[in-house]
Chain A
């Protein structure tokens, strides 16, 4: 069985996000620690984010697997990766030596260049998947017209 490239990429990205989400959802306190070290948010907001973000990652990862939600999931993933990259770049410029918190407790001290490259690659994949989903949508809705 030959899989379309967008399907393969969607599965790969989905596996990455499911793994990242699960390890963080299992240890929200540890992820909370990591978020606090960015020194962006108050303790309360960091605590809520530490509980919400892992589940969002899991939900959008599952969303990537379904054709009907792939476009929406790709948008969210692209947006998340953009935010992560800004946070990492900010930590880098502020001279912070922290864990990125990307994959829960297992991630070591951060190599910022590598993380930014990795995020950029995943961001491009998400954009490609978004475009593919839109192409699919256009094919199934050929008579969609301009809104006036």
Chain B
């Protein structure tokens, strides 16, 4: 009863705002249709999941901490996934700029720099997703291992080995 009383209060207030609802029962068809629309959306979504897999894809490991980079014995190929402007401002020495925009042009440089036994580490700015996207694309080319620098370029700048 308390529930209905508060609904009636809401209705009165809505009426004051010139929203023409005076009966609780008028909300019910709306709510039912809203639920119906949400249920309908489940059908194609479930179908797409059935084709694409119900489990999320295995990810490029979220990556490597800037502090841990120096402990890796193997040579590293740095990939800067930020824009050319940011890359031009400052970047990790020997990094090559490879992002969604210049992907086709810059990819040959990655193949020149990479050899089996080397590790590719991709970075962008702190909190961005470009490094993950580029890392996924590089992995799709069959290059392993590809890591993502956690905290991005800013984290690398803060490390003492800079």
Residues of A within 8 A of B20 (CB): 134-135, 137-138
A76 with B55: CB separation less than 8 A: no
Residues of B within 8 A of A34 (CB): 129
Chain B 85-118, CB-CB to A under 8 Å as 1, else 0, gives 0000000000000000000000000000000000
Contact of A98 among B8, B23, B59, B127 (CB under 8 A): B127
Q: Is the interface of B mostly helix, strand, loop or mixed?
A: helix
| B141 interfacial contact with A, CB 8 Å | no
In the bound complex, what is the Cα–Cα distance between A36 and B24 (angstroms)? 39
Residues of B within 8 A of A109 (CB): 128
Q: Is the interface of A mostly helix, strand, loop or mixed?
A: helix
In the bound complex, what is the Cα–Cα distance between A52 and B43 (angstroms)? 9
B21 with A97: CB separation less than 8 A: no
Q: Say how far A127's CB is from chain B's closest CB, in angstroms.
A: 10
In the bound complex, what is the Cα–Cα distance between A122 and B109 (angstroms)? 44
In the bound complex, what is the Cα–Cα distance between A36 and B136 (angstroms)? 14
A51 with B45: CB separation less than 8 A: yes
B59 with A146: CB separation less than 8 A: no
Known A30-B133, A95-B126; 11 more pairs at CB < 8 Å: A43-B56, A51-B48, A55-B43, A56-B38, A68-B33, A72-B32, A76-B34, A97-B126, A99-B129, A146-B23, A147-B23
A–B Cβ pairs within 8 angstroms, 13 of them: A25-B44, A43-B56, A52-B42, A55-B44, A56-B45, A58-B44, A63-B33, A72-B32, A72-B34, A94-B127, A134-B20, A138-B21, A138-B26
